Every structure is written in structure tokens, then in C-alpha cells.
Structure 1
Amino acid sequence: MKKIYLIAVALLFSFKGFSQGSPDYGAGMKFNLNEDGSKYLRVISWAQIWGQYNSDRPLDANGKEQADLDFSVRRARVLMYAQINKDFLILTHFGLNSLNSANLTPTGKGESSQLFLHDVWAQYSLGKNNAIGAGLHYWNGISRLNNQSTLNIMTLDNDRQAWATLGLSDQFARHIGVYAKGTVGKFQYRVSINGAATTNLQATTVPTNGGAATYTGARLLGSKEAGRTYAGYFEYGFLDAESNFLPYKVGTYLGTKKVFNIGAGFFSHPNGSVVADLAGNLTGENVNIFGLDAFYDVPVGKKGAAVTAYALYQNTDYGKNYRLGTTYETGSMIHTHLGYVLPGKSKTRFQPYLSYDSRKIDVLNDNASQLGIGANAFFSGHNSKLTLEYQTLKYASDKAVNTVTLQAMIYL
């Protein structure tokens, strides 16, 4: 093996520019395994720590009142990918999510304390701009938000309903299967065929006779009848081209690119849900989700200001009258967010933002709405930032839930 070089990566998901907005370095470290850098290993690590205030938190598992202020490790992750030549790539991504005082365990051996695989896939290139791959992957369908990177979200966190299959047919928004992705001119695509998870958030649920659908097709009907999912996302870029070297979509470029994309995507799981008739006979119902979105991110003027705007329409059909908690329901959603990087020449940049979504809930014949008002303080682009956000959620006739969250994030 020839000399190994340790250098700063210029960009997390491509080879050119600073798409993460950092004036210091890109996003990680690169170990070159030969002199021309065609063989390499890249490593990225990040942590997001939350302090969250909510005066209306529900009772804990022991029926006791919870403190208004809580702390958590929202995400702790390590991502590595390597190429032995231009034709082959392997990626591994592991970590944990939402570790807090309620799910800590005495010796760190509990379920919430354990690292798990988020992604692991192998990929083979088909020429310069197209590739196929297989494994536990994040080449999702539906929308840009369903392919969002957690490193550069503009708002505090991703819109939860946009990760529309998380825990229902997959493992934390990742499916095991095969995918194809690529670029043709200004057009980008990603499509996949995957296996559906048998154990999910409704692992012990059965549909009631004559009642609503449950997302239990793979378990109750079997993998032959309900074991495949299909997904795709397609977009056209009018301005600067975005990298699709990896699947993770950038949330805001902080004025370092000019991007205007429109996209459309889908997710389909034949017989993914199950209903029972009055006699208890089970029938599969198809799960179909469709999204249409637009992303606009451009610098404004000559003083470092920038605008980020996004809009999504998502139509979600999980089956007859489906609802799971306040997260998943058969219906539709409109989501939008808008951010503005304030002008200035300082290394520290500020970005106030607004987010809003409105959901139609078929089974309740009612709506849910969520408003977020926040701001980012970027000390070195997305590599070091603080985010403060006030959020209010009104779900149907339930009392509004209000939270204030402060996030500290560093990634290297």
C-alpha cells in the first residue's frame, strides 16, 4: 500500500465546491489509498444535541409528571464510504437516535443505547452518470424530504410525515433492496425495488372486524403476497446541477449554489395494509403515496444574503381510514418552508425561517396543522451551528402542543 494521506474533504457529497456552506472545510476526512486518489476512504461523523422545553408533556410510563425541560442526543452518527476504483463503491452508516433520560439504561445495553445500521450498500457504476446498487439503502421515492440529509436540514428537523414509510415498511426510512440512480442532462432519477419489513410499528396489531386498515400485510398475508415495495423520485433542475453521488438531499446551500428543481415521486406497497370484514376475513389493501415538490435556493444581492424555499404536496393512502398516532394517516398534506440568510461579511451567519404544514385526516374528517418559527446561527456553515425553534402542533380537536427546542450540532 502506498502512502496514506489525511486531508479535508472539500464536499460531503461531491467533489467540487463547498455545498455545505463552510468557510473552513467541507465535511469530513479522506484517506487516499493511492497517489492519484482514485482509491480512498471517506469518514464523516456528526452529533446533534437537543434541549427541549414543553410545559404540556404527557405522563411518563410510571404515570408521573415529566419535567418541562428535557435533554437528548437527537442523532449521533458515523458514515464511511470507499471506492477501490471508479466502478465500485461501498457505504456504511451507523449510529443512534433520540437517546434521553427516559430511555438510558444502567450499563448502556438497552435497546435505545445501541448503535444500529442506517445504511449499508454496494454500488456498481454504469458509465459516468448512472449506477445500480443493492443493500440497506436510502435511495427513496416520494419527495426531496423523504431523501433529506440530516446534516443540512434548514429547519430544526425534517417534516416527520414526509418520512412517510419510516417504521412501517422499512428500518428507519431505509429498505433492503436494489436501486438504480443517475443523471440524464438536467434530469435526475432514482428508482428501487425492495423487501417490506415484516416487523414494524404495528407488530402485534390485527385489524378489527369491519374497522380501519392496519399496516400489517407482510406479516398477516405473507411475503409472497405483500412482500415487495416500489419507489421512485424524479426531478428536473433549471439552474445549477446538484450532486446525486449519494442519496442525501441538501436542505439549504446558504448561498453557495443557484438551485431550482421540480420533482415528483411515489411509493407503492401492494397489499401493504390489511382490513377485516364483519366475519373476520382478511383482505389486502394497496398502500400508495405520491409527492410533488419544488426547491429553490439562490444567493440574493452581493452581501451574502440567500433565500431557501420549498413546497411539497403529498397524497397518502395507507388503506381504509388508516391512522397511527398523530404521525401517519390516510389523507393529504401540504408542507412549505422559507428561510433567509441575513446579509453580512462575518464568518457567523444567521438564517431565520418559517415552516408550515396542513394535513387532511380522512378517518377524522378533520385537519392537523403545524407551525415552526426558528433561526439558525452558522459558525462554520453546517459544520457548526445552533438552531432555536418554536413549534406548535394542532391535531384535529386535540389541545395544541407547543415546544421550544435548542439544538447544538457539529459534524466533521
Structure 2
Amino acid sequence: MRNLHNFLLVFLLSISFKVFSQGSPNYDGGIKVTLNKDGKKYIRIISWAQVQASYADQVADNESNTSFNLRRARILMYAQLNSKFLILTHFGLNSLNSSNMSPIGKGEASQLFFHDVWVQYQIAKNHTVGAGLHYFNGISRLNNQSTLNFLTLDNNRQSWATLGLSDQFVRHIGVFFKGNFEKLQYRLAINDAIVNGLDLRSPTNNGSAVYGGARLLGTKEAGKTFAGYFDYHFLDQESNLLPFKVGSYLGEKRVFNLGFGFFAHPNGAVFADNLGNISGENVSIFAVDTFYDAPLSDKGSSITAYAVYQNNNYGKNYLFNAYGTGSMIYSHLGYTLAGDTSKTRFQPYVSFAKNSYDATKDNRNILGIGANAYFNGHNSKVTLEYQHQKFGVSSLNTLTLQAMIYL
């Protein structure tokens, strides 16, 4: 308990000095360099960092309950030659901490890598084709979530449903199509599946499936994935220039969307019969979701709400880390308190996820309770979140404080 008290003391001290974290209320689009008079040729640069301090009640006997983590350090750049052409480059690192740092910065976790590199071309009004290492994903809004403007501390982990299984950090290499038909937005993609995914297990005779089709069957049989997401915008229309979905608008827009998405990987999983003969099993994931964000008064109060049902089929009785064949229900709700929008604003929230798996009768339930303190919108904020996760006899309580700035 002493460690927890110390952690809370650090948090309270950080809030007491919030005046020194107050940024300019006029962000005005960040770093953007226009290259011609009409502004259609430009380069934009975005940089952000998220730093965390956490307390966990269940750790190894020789480990500290408190730890620090560089959750994200990223730089994103995109350039437009004219309204038809765009190129985007996004690189950085994730989750750098004492257990994966290296003495001279040459370890895998210390290295920068490309998250996205793609080009796109507008083939008709409101319709675009692109290719490269991209984030135009299917399934749900949260599988296309921006890391700049979460409502909660971080994304719901199971919503990034293919991370490391068929892709590189939620990105595939392939071709995508995006656009809209009036209020209906769409994104579709055909991609190559990663060969050396995180699931390196070999299937056991008449056991559970493993996600290793491209590795064990070859890319001719299991090399392609197909994804799509469609959302209908009843109120304000969201931007479709980039794939990153906003987590909370803080009442700056009035948005109500209904969405449907899917992911399909033929022969993506592998199953072994009683004799050890292996065969492919199709991986299929689909979801329906809804998102609502709107002001509640002219004094700055607003609401953000999201809910999704997701059905996951990774093959027979698949269960690996956070992922498994079964279903998921997830929802979160946030309320921005009324106040001067040019000063510090507060947004308490709650989230809940229920994951069921065919391989076990136990559900994975995750409850999150937290609050954001916005010093300059999402550009400068502090988040405190308590999370309780229970899966069978395993129970984990975590308290995390995160500071974030992006420019």
C-alpha cells in the first residue's frame, strides 16, 4: 500500500503544478509548410509522446510494483502535391521500459521503425486508391483508432484484433480503397499476411488451431487478407483524408455514426488432425459499432459514447494471449465537465469489456475508470486510469498515470 500512496502523491503534485503545463489554446493545425500560393501543395508534421507511470498489485516477488514506460514516441509526416496525390510516412517506437531497453540503444525495443508508409491517388471525386504499409483497416472504429485522441488511457486491446498475427503492429502491406457515397464512408483493403507472426506455435494433434497459415501452409494458400469498414454518418461528417478515427471530439462536433466491418484471412489458421496432418482454417472477424459525440451545453460540457459487438473466429478453440475464438462486447462513456474551453478541462470516463472464448468457460472482463485533464485539448493532457482485469482465477489491478503532448 505504501507504493500506491506514493504513486497517488506524485499524481496530486503533478496536478498542483498544472499551470506550468498550460499550452496555447490556439493550436491552429500544428506544423504545416505550404509550398504554393493556394496552399494545395504542403507538408505537415505531427510529433507526440506519451509517458506513463504505473502501479500493479500482481508482480513477481523480485519486481517493483511501480514502473515507468515510454508508451509512444512518434513522428508522422504527410505531403500533398495537389488535391489528388498524397504520401504519408509515420515512424516511432512503443512501450520502452526498463525490461526491454538496451545499454547503448541498439536493442529491438529501442529502435525506431516505420508504422505507416503509403501513397494515395484520388481516382474520382470522394474516391481514392492507395498502396503501401497502411492503417486502412476493417472490423471496427477502434481497429482504426488514432493514438492522438483516445477517450480512455489507451485503446481496447482486443479491438486491435490482428496485431502481430497477420500484420505488423496493426498495419498490413497492400492496396486500399476509401471514399464516401454522401453520408456513407467506406474503406476496403487487400493485403499480404505476415509470415513470421507472433503465434509461432506448432499445432498439436487434434488440438487447438494456431495462427500460422502463411508460415506453415505457404503464401500461395494463406498469403492474402481482406478487410473493410463502412460507417454511416447521421450528423456531422468526419474527415476521411487519413485512416485514424478520433476517440473524443470534446463536443467540438456533433457526430453519430453506425458502423460495420470485417476481416477475412482464408487458411489463416492451421489445425492438425489425429495423425498430425495439417489443414487450413479460415479466419473471420466482424463487428458492428456505434459512436456518439456531442456538446451538451454552451458552457463546454459534452458526452462521448461508444459500443461495439465483435465476433472472432481464429480457428477451432483458438486462444493466444489476448485473442481467442469467441465474442467481445466493449463500451466506454465519457463526460466533459462544463468550463472555460481556454482553461483546464476535466473528463471522467468508464469503460468495460467482456471477452468470451470457445476454449474456456471463463470470460476475460476488464473494467476501466479514469479521468482526463485537458490543458490544451488533446495536445496537452494528463490521464489517470484504474483498471481491473479478471480472467478465471487471475486478477490484476493497475493504476496508471499518463502525460501526453503532441504538436
TM-score interval, normalised by the smaller of the two chains: over 0.9
SS of alignment partner, residue 224 of structure 1: helix
Residue 72 (structure 1) aligned with residue 74 (structure 2): no
Which residue of 1 is the match for residue 303 of structure 2?
307
Which residue of 2 is the match for residue 83 of structure 1?
80
Q: 2:405 aligns with which of 389, 406, 410?
A: 410
Q: Output one character per residue of 1:26-80: Cα deviation in whole Å (capped at 9) or x when no partner.
A: 44211111122111100000000000001212x3xxxx62101000100000000
Q: 2: distance between equivalents of 1:316 and 1:40?
A: 41
Q: 1:34 aligns with which of 28, 33, 36?
A: 36
Q: 1: distance between equivalents of 2:273 and 2:263?
A: 26
Which residue of 1 is the match for residue 50 of structure 2?
48
Which residue of 1 is the match for residue 294 of structure 2?
298
Which residue of 2 is the match for residue 18 of structure 1?
none
Q: 2: distance between equivalents of 1:284 and 1:22?
A: 55
Q: 1: distance between equivalents of 2:53 and 2:350?
A: 20
Moved over 2 A (4+): none
Give the deviation of 1:399 after TM superposition. Answer: 2.6
Indicate if the aligned counterparts of 1:95 and 1:115 stay in contact, CA closer than 8 A. yes
Which residue of 1 is the match for residue 329 of structure 2?
334
SS of alignment partner, residue 400 of structure 1: strand
Which residue of 1 is the match for residue 154 of structure 2?
157
Q: 2:244 aligns with which of 241, 245, 248?
A: 248
> Aligned pair in 2 of structure 1 residues 22, 254: CA closer, same or farther (>3 Å)?
farther
Which residue of 2 is the match for residue 353 of structure 1?
349
Q: 1: distance between equivalents of 2:369 and 2:285?
A: 28
Give the deviation of 1:119 after TM superposition. Answer: 0.2
SS of alignment partner, residue 146 of structure 1: helix
Which residue of 2 is the match for residue 15 of structure 1?
none
Between structures 1 and 2, the one with greater helix share: 2
Q: 1: distance between equivalents of 2:142 and 2:24?
A: 22
So what's the TM-score if we normalise by structure 1?
Answer: 0.92
Give the deviation of 1:201 after TM superposition. Answer: 0.5
Q: 2: distance between equivalents of 1:329 and 1:26?
A: 43
Q: 1: distance between equivalents of 2:136 and 2:234?
A: 22
Indicate if the aligned counterparts of 1:274 and 1:285 stay in contact, CA closer than 8 A. yes
Indicate if the aligned counterparts of 1:226 and 1:272 stay in contact, CA closer than 8 A. yes
Indicate if the aligned counterparts of 1:27 and 1:411 stay in contact, CA closer than 8 A. no
Task: Please tell me the residue identity of whatever aligns with 2:164.
Answer: G
Q: 2: distance between equivalents of 1:365 and 1:56?
A: 23
Which residue of 2 is the match for residue 8 of structure 1?
none
SS of alignment partner, residue 82 of structure 1: strand
Residue 106 (structure 1) aligned with residue 108 (structure 2): no
Task: Please tell me the residue identity of whatever aligns with 1:399.
Answer: S
Q: 1:269 aligns with which of 253, 257, 265?
A: 265
Task: Please tell me the residue identity of whatever aligns with 1:48.
Answer: Q
Q: 1: distance between equivalents of 2:24 and 2:143?
A: 25
Q: 2: distance between equivalents of 1:306 and 1:180?
A: 33
Q: 1: distance between equivalents of 2:29 and 2:358?
A: 43
Aligned-residue identity in percent: 63
Which residue of 1 is the match for residue 134 of structure 2?
137
Indicate if the aligned counterparts of 1:218 and 1:272 stay in contact, CA closer than 8 A. yes
Q: Following superposition of structure 1 onto structure 2, how do residues 3-22 of structure 1 map, counting pairs within 5 Å?
A: none
Q: 1: distance between equivalents of 2:298 and 2:34?
A: 37
Q: Output one character per residue of 1:133-174: Cα deviation in whole Å (capped at 9) or x when no partner.
A: 000000000000000000001000000000000000000000
Which residue of 1 is the match for residue 197 of structure 2?
200
Give the deviation of 1:92 after TM superposition. Answer: 0.3
Give the deviation of 1:22 after TM superposition. Answer: 8.2
Q: Output one character per residue of 1:88-118: Cα deviation in whole Å (capped at 9) or x when no partner.
A: 1000000000000111101000000000000
Give the deviation of 1:338 after TM superposition. Answer: 0.1
Indicate if the aligned counterparts of 1:27 and 1:44 stay in contact, CA closer than 8 A. no
Q: 1: distance between equivalents of 2:100 and 2:153?
A: 22
Q: 1: distance between equivalents of 2:189 and 2:134?
A: 9
Which residue of 1 is the match for residue 174 of structure 2?
177
Which residue of 1 is the match for residue 11 of structure 2?
none
Q: 1: distance between equivalents of 2:207 and 2:260?
A: 32
Q: 1: distance between equivalents of 2:69 and 2:393?
A: 26
Q: 2: distance between equivalents of 1:22 and 1:348?
A: 11
> Aligned pair in 2 of structure 1 residues 392, 27: CA closer, same or farther (>3 Å)?
farther
Q: 2: distance between equivalents of 1:92 and 1:128?
A: 24
Which residue of 1 is the match for residue 361 of structure 2?
365
Structure 2 unaligned segments of length 5 or more: list them: 1-22
Q: Following superposition of structure 1 onto structure 2, how do residues 183-194 of structure 1 map, counting pairs within 5 Å?
A: 183-194=180-191
Paired residues, number: 384
Q: 1: distance between equivalents of 2:289 and 2:187?
A: 15
Moved more, 30-39 or 223-232: 30-39
Indicate if the aligned counterparts of 1:39 and 1:85 stay in contact, CA closer than 8 A. yes
Q: 1: distance between equivalents of 2:306 and 2:396?
A: 24
Residue 401 (structure 1) aligned with residue 403 (structure 2): no
Indicate if the aligned counterparts of 1:142 and 1:290 stay in contact, CA closer than 8 A. yes
Task: Please tell me the residue identity of whatever aligns with 2:182.
Answer: G
Which residue of 1 is the match for residue 372 of structure 2?
376
Residue 385 (structure 1) aligned with residue 381 (structure 2): yes
Structure 1 unaligned segments of length 5 or more: list them: 1-20
Q: 2: distance between equivalents of 1:159 and 1:177?
A: 25
So what's the TM-score if we normalise by structure 2?
Answer: 0.93
